[in-house]
Chains A and B, each alone.
Chain A
């Protein structure tokens, strides 16, 4: 029977094991790391190559689809088949949308017929209604925004409440594109609860509806301006872009009732953008407001309306204690017919702040450059005065 040798009695073996471990384990680890890296690299390169091939195939299919659809547009009775597999393909959808955006008139009707015959809208509706994946749902929403028709409107309307912001935006865009007027109230109604960037895109959609959105927006502002400011302020700016004169009288009522500074500012700006002389008295009275923001915005809006009768009050505003009000008043005067002459006169104002504001507005209006040019011909006293006031000389 072999005698068991205690561990303590075999120091050489222990040393040998330690030495082996010390030399071989790092080598082994290096080898393993190298192997893992090599495998990862191979996988990565293969994936990239696969992705590139896939993209190339998608592009090639897209080109084939564009040619196929072009033939359908160019030949009245084109017999080249469009199969259901093609209609399922995202590349087909992209080609369809690209062509749809390139043509108009009869060709749009042909595209609609292709879309209808191959159930493209129904397929996209089904994808949008599915709970996931997000990418496919988003693509469906974009497709419906581009090629959707009245049949897809109820689905788009429902998805204005979608959990995904971008899908909500695309649904609103689609409803705007097909001018689905029942959607206006729904879109306006979401102004108060939407996140800012979605709200801004909703505003763009409403502008597309034109004057049909005027009254829903006004109703929304009337109901909400006492309780919140951001939604009504954006609704007011949307009205400014729609440029519907019918909004002026209700806006004046809103301005009289408004207590929120942001709403007041947006109302004044909108009245200025609409440019109706009906708003002049209300805006002129706001030039005496204790709040400088309202004085400045009213001055700017009066410039937008452009009534020469406002010039005396705006000249008063040139002497305002607030720099921004003076600057706004001067810029407004420059926009009113005959205002440039008034600004030249204001260069001699006793209030040197007023004179400075006039000089800056004249410079912004391009008068300084013109003055230099004219002074080289030595023709105008006004030019000399402006150059002297702004501390520059003609470049003779």
Chain B
């Protein structure tokens, strides 16, 4: 039988279209910048996602491993562990959650390494929220 479907409601006047989901998708935002975490938390919640945040590499690794997220937005330069190191650990632990790298590292090598590790998207900072949201919608 079908379970009762819960449709998430956006806040009034949300810019982003309501994702066509049957249940709240869960997203982890891992970034050492509190401003970025707050901004993404607000924007993603307004689009109907359930959001958790992590401020450093080790806590991102732990949450990503145990949290059962649908998508992870990950910064590269974080204290404790670099973003790519976190992804490496997840992959070695068979955590295959889609990862979107959101980073200020403007170098092609890091982008290539990210894709080699199975990262699904790579967005450079500063970023357009509308574009990031569209990329997230495409993945979920």
Q: Which of B36-78 contact A (CB under 8 A)?
A: 36, 38-39, 41-43, 46-47
Contact between A75 and B39 (Cβ–Cβ < 8 Å)? no
What 6 new A-B contacts, CB under 8 Å, besides A74-B42, A74-B43, A75-B11? Answer: A70-B41, A74-B16, A76-B13, A102-B125, A102-B127, A103-B127
Contact between B38 and A105 (Cβ–Cβ < 8 Å)? no
B16 surroundings in chain A (CB, below 8 A): 74
Name A75's contact: one of B14, B36, B126, B127 (CB within 8 Å): B14
Any B CB within 8 A of the CB of A63 = yes
Contact code string A92-127 (vs B, CB < 8 Å = 1, else 0): 000100110111111100000000000000000000
Given the interface contacts A70-B43, A75-B13, A75-B15, does A106 sit within 8 Å of B130 by beta carbon? yes
Contact between B128 and A74 (Cβ–Cβ < 8 Å)? no
Name B42's contact: one of A67, A101, A106, A107 (CB within 8 Å): A67
* Nearest-Cβ distance from residue B26 to partner chain A, whole angstroms: 18
Cα A173 to Cα B125 in complex, Å, equals 21
Contact between B131 and A105 (Cβ–Cβ < 8 Å)? yes
Chain B residues in contact with chain A, CB under 8 A? 11-16, 33-36, 38-39, 41-43, 46-47, 125-131
Any B CB within 8 A of the CB of A73 = yes
Any B CB within 8 A of the CB of A71 = yes
Contact between A103 and B129 (Cβ–Cβ < 8 Å)? yes
* Chain A contact residues: helix, strand, loop or mixed: helix
* Nearest-Cβ distance from residue B15 to partner chain A, whole angstroms: 5
Name B39's contact: one of A77, A78, A79, A99 (CB within 8 Å): A99
Task: Please name 10 pairs of A and B residues whose Cβ atoms are closer than 8 Å in the assembled complex, sorted by A.
Answer: A66-B35, A67-B42, A71-B42, A74-B15, A75-B12, A76-B15, A77-B13, A102-B36, A102-B127, A105-B128
Cα A104 to Cα B106 in complex, Å, equals 15
Task: Sort chain A's interface into a size bin.
Answer: 20 to 34
Chain A residues in contact with chain B, CB under 8 A? 63, 66-67, 70-71, 73-79, 95, 98-99, 101-107
Name A102's contact: one of B11, B33, B42 (CB within 8 Å): B33
Q: Which of A66, A73, A75, A106 has the most CB of B within 10 A?
A: A75
Q: Which of B33, B39, B130 has the most CB of A within 10 A?
A: B39
* Nearest-Cβ distance from residue B19 to partner chain A, whole angstroms: 14
Nearest A residue to B31 via CB reads A102
Name A103's contact: one of B34, B42, B46, B126 (CB within 8 Å): B126
Nearest A residue to B37 via CB reads A66
Contact between B130 and A75 (Cβ–Cβ < 8 Å)? no
